[in-house]
Homo-oligomer: A and B are copies of this chain.
Amino acid sequence: MNIIDVVNWRYSTKEFDPSKKISADDFSKVKTLLRMSPSSTNIQPWHFVVADSEEGKKRIAKGTQGFYQFNEQKVMDASHVVVFCARTSADEDYMLHLLETEDKHGRYPNEDIKQMVFGARNIFANMHKYDYKDQQHWMEKQVYMNMGNLLLGVAALGIDALPMEGIDMKQIDEELALREKGFTAVGVVSLGYRKESDFNTPNTTPKSRLPEEEIITLLK
């Protein structure tokens, strides 16, 4: 696999084939991609709710009513639907839990380094909480980074995807009781395999991006 072929092959799927399911082996790779994504200071401020049954997808499709109805079929016909959630806080319990998890995994050769990392992560989190007052957006940015990682990763597995912001996130939060659990939905990604009739594929419609000279400046 050539990663440049992969990024060019990746298209936002407009029509999923409801008869095609992601294999258990591939789904386990999807979970690994979600889990292993980088995040600032390894804060991992995320949770993922996945539906692969009719019942589960129907619950997520409650966020695609009214104005967002254009996304209903894209949820219902997908093989697996992933709700990307952000944490709504990074409190001390969570920060300690992260640290202890890393310690258990063998990240820290000694207590000094462990405490240094704990301090540094808190400095960044607190900078966004108290100075910039954008901690929620900061955490959600990490979730978007994860989404970028996932979209490229699943394409390398030959899985089609559609990332959607066109979702009633509040409805999803309520349906899945996310806020009570300390999370809030920030986006939904449908995964599966495109229909032959999908117009938005590498073989039917060219991808469009701004030209390199407009978006990249090489410093002298």
A141 contact from B6, B144, B219, Cβ within 8 A = B144
Stretch in A16-24, A101-109, A190-198 with 4+ CB within 8 Å of B = A101-109
A51 touches B3 (CB 8 A): no
A37 and B148 contact, Cβ closer than 8 Å, known pairs A46-B215, A140-B141, A220-B55: yes
The docked-state distance in angstroms from the alpha carbon of A101 to that of B209 is: 8
* Total number of A residues with any Cβ neighbor in B under 8 Å: 75
B217 touches A47 (CB 8 A): yes
A42 contact from B10, B146, B208, Cβ within 8 A = B208
Return A72 CB to nearest CB of chain B, in Å: 16
A215 contact from B7, B34, B59, B107, Cβ within 8 A = B34
A220 and B53 contact, Cβ closer than 8 Å, known pairs A46-B215, A212-B31: yes
Is there a chain B Cβ closer than 8 Å to A145's Cβ? yes
| A176 / chain B contacts, CB cutoff of 8 Å | 219
A212 touches B29 (CB 8 A): no
A52 touches B209 (CB 8 A): no
B51 touches A219 (CB 8 A): yes
| A107 / chain B contacts, CB cutoff of 8 Å | 205-206, 208
A3 touches B1 (CB 8 A): yes
A144 touches B153 (CB 8 A): no
Is there a chain B Cβ closer than 8 Å to A156's Cβ? yes
A145 contact from B3, B12, B145, Cβ within 8 A = B145
B48 touches A217 (CB 8 A): yes
| A44 / chain B contacts, CB cutoff of 8 Å | 209-210, 215
